Structure 1
């Protein structure tokens, strides 16, 4: 079974969030499950510079007049499967992240950039590489949504028989563009319709994936249910309810070759569930690195996140004095909303030794925060899956989470019953309110005051396993179901 995975990001070469982790880990898991995966990614500088053993496959005709593009095939470090790179320097050879410039401003031609990615996927489905042709094209998030639309258009012209899977990583980011830009997408005019890519007078790449894909997946069972409601459907809940029979919630996995305190080379000291002593060394090292008071008795709370409203970080700020007054410490790594960045910077200035703030996304520091923290804060307003809490579990940083999406599927609250059963792994609050968050925070401090119980919960957390092997088997079942139709 030949699977083409289409994604805009790919860990470890290009990452802005969890999408890259998924795109980087899933191919190996699929190969271990017995399928034949390959990748298609845009030719961003980090990708293009890392490509070896490259050969030209075919040019890709642009739907507009200027520029050039071609499909290359080669190898990328860390991947045992062939990779296709869409080489279009005029579109992808730019500074900044994949979607915007160094100031975070979205590129005005993003509709062209990612429409061409979808068009390139369709050309591979049509067999432009004579040595390999996918049976399934698996498109990830809105950036690859037009792959499903282009393949559907190609299929109606009997140019391919490939089936498509579209994975929603975050429904809130939809790839919306003005209607007048539809003419740049290379799609047949009838595709701009309610039964197509039109969404309230705009073009929606996300809706293209949802409407045209043969199967839809998202990254946790709870999120699959939640996005069918008006509260979390982002205007697409009606379409998702209509397609509920093709919608599958498959929980993301963790690549434990990367996210394990036993073998993590960025840590001050390795440790494990059987030999947890090294975690104290990691905590002291993190406190020194971030300018916090080196206090083993102070519970250290960590945040590794984009700084956005979605992540529930206003709750952290609202209850910051509670955390400080109870003797806790906080370290924050991330960037995003300017108001949140300023608020955390102000908190660090007002509470030296107890609050530290670092900007950007430093991969090594992120690992050290998981290893050095006692609690990882993930109070998201909504959360499709969340990888932060899974990394926290692996490193023995107990997650404090809002009961929503993948957070609800992966963290067990420290109720008396679950403490007695040995199944508690963190702290969960139900209502998205400051009071509910504060109660969870108080439970964390109450457990911290009982070291024997804390050690038991940490032990249970570190024994959790959310490997990609389980997720890969579920994806294979989806693929097989499509090919058997």
Structure 2
């Protein structure tokens, strides 16, 4: 089985969010099941600099200009990677999607249409030595891939995965003529969305099968509340829509072997988690106090993540004896507000604006509670990392959070199934109640440690998820 994944980023070469963790782990997990997997990426500087390049596959002209298709492999793996070498489109410093003013690049429609176009080229035999049978696109950046395949008579089966329906890749209609798609593709039954071009809708409409990253989110996006205007199309295609939960790569996220944390520990020997907490407190302005429950946020700072609710409750958290650490970047107002909170109370609140992979591991190892109070959450990886590292997730009952965290009710604690704290309503009062339950459980350390043990024993590795994708590919190829 020959499978090509098409995406805009891949850990460890380039990461701006959870998408890179998925695309960095899933192809490798599929390889272990026997699939012949390769990945196609744009030639961003971080990708070119980190890849072990082996040579040029092809040179050809496209609607976006001449390109070279390079081939190499991911360091320390046998994962083959194609890279689109188009310097005028991709050789830009900083964020791969936005300019220094944090505005989307004006030519993003060309930069990411080209990604889908080259994916279709590979499916049509552009590499004479390797031709995929299944082409799997991720998020709106690869949304035109199924459309280009459809325009060519579907030379390969296509799978399109929604990692977040809210990000849709919408562009002005006058750009359609630049994309080299058949004219009738710009219609309601095609790429048109409220008079504009939607790359994400193209993926949903033309893909042979749609997946998203948790079973609950797969159901939620067929409703007006969570469908982002595409719920009607998703209901029409519900027979070709599957929710497959994301996983965690144990080679990257494992407290027993993680080189990025202060001390290694495991579910059988959890004592060193306290050393990680002390190390974080020493590294920051936080007071050295192992008895204070440490609440953590590692997240994009956006309204979706519910962090304005956390900000409102921060004074209560501190007054109750808790500590708080945050690592994230995003909305400027949230950045300023959290930074101000850190300056007001440096002994109890530590805030780092930005993203640092190593520091995220240190926080997860040190934290007692990881906060994920999202308005919506397709899957969420933060709560999975929290479970793995014994940082009990405090989450809203939505999307993948609902699929992965069991509330610490009296019954679930007694049954040894509790793994965290869950609230329902997207408001301060319900989050406050969940936070108080966390403090109450912290005061009963025997029960806390039992719940932490349950959490760390959960298995959210990639094997089961990869097997689900493998069987999906088999079904598509059989028909």
TM-score, normalized by length of structure 2? 0.99
Q: Secondary structure at the match of 2:407?
A: coil
In structure 2, the residue matched to 1:337 is 331
Q: Post-superposition shift, 1:181? A: 0.8
Residue number in structure 1 paired with 2:7: 7
What's the CA shift string for 1:279-302, capped at 9, x where partnerless?
Answer: 000001111112100101100000
Identify which of 402, 411, 429 aligns with 2:423: 429
Question: What CA distance in whole angstroms lies between the structure 2 residues aligned with 1:108 and 1:293?
Answer: 47
Structure 2 CA distance for aligned equivalents of residues 481 and 58 of structure 1: 32
SS at match of 2:82: strand
1:298 pairs with 271, 292, 302, which one?
292
Aligned to 2:396: 402
Picking from 338, 357, 373, the partner of 1:379 is 373
Partner of 2:317: 323
SS at match of 1:431: coil
The 8 Å contact of residues 44 and 93 in structure 1, kept in 2 or not, is answered as: yes
- Could you say which residue in structure 2 is the equivalent of 1:56? 56
State the distance in 1 between where 2:49 and 2:12 align. Answer: 13
Measured in 2, the distance between the counterparts of 1:20 and 1:78 equals: 17
User: C-alpha deviations, 1:382-407, integer Å up to 9, x for none?
Assistant: 00000000000000000000000000
Q: How many residue pairs are counted as aligned between the two chains?
A: 479
Task: Name the counterpart of 1:77.
Answer: 75
User: In the alignment, what sits opposite 1:283?
Assistant: 277
Distance in 2 (alpha carbons) for counterparts of 1:456 and 1:81: 40
**5 Å matches for 1:42-441?**
42-64=42-64, 67-155=65-153, 161-441=155-435
- Rounded to whole Å, the distance in 2 between the matches of 1:78 and 1:21 is 16
For 1:457-476, what aligned pairs fall within 5 Å after superposition?
457-476=451-470
Alpha-carbon distance, 1:52 to partner: 2.6
Q: Which residue of 1 aligns with 2:27?
A: 27
1:96 Cα offset (Å): 1.4
Counterpart contact for 1:96–1:104, Cα < 8 Å? no
**Could you tell me whether the CA contact under 8 Å between 1:403 and 1:428 is conserved in 2?**
yes
Q: Is the CA contact 1:60–1:120 (under 8 Å) kept in the aligned structure 2?
A: no
Unaligned runs of 5+ in 1: none
Moved more, 317-326 or 166-175: 317-326
**Alpha-carbon distance between aligned partners in 2 of 1:286 and 1:14, rounded to the nearest angstrom:** 26
Please report how far the alpha carbon of residue 312 of structure 1 lies from its aligned counterpart in structure 2 after TM superposition: 0.5
User: In the alignment, is the contact (CA less than 8 A) between 1:167 and 1:218 conserved in 2?
Assistant: yes
- 1:274 counterpart SS class: coil
Q: CA deviation at 1:80?
A: 1.1
Counterpart of 1:306 in 2: which secondary structure? strand
Report SS of the residue matched to 1:68: strand
Tell me, in whole angstroms, the C-alpha distance in 2 between the residues paired with 1:54 and 1:103.
Answer: 35
CA displacement 1:159-212 (0-9 Å, x = unmatched): x52010000000000000000011121211111110000000110000010000
For residues 51 and 320 of structure 1, do their structure 2 counterparts lie closer, same or farther at Cα, with a shift above 3 Å needed?
Answer: closer
Q: How far is 1:53 from its partner?
A: 4.2
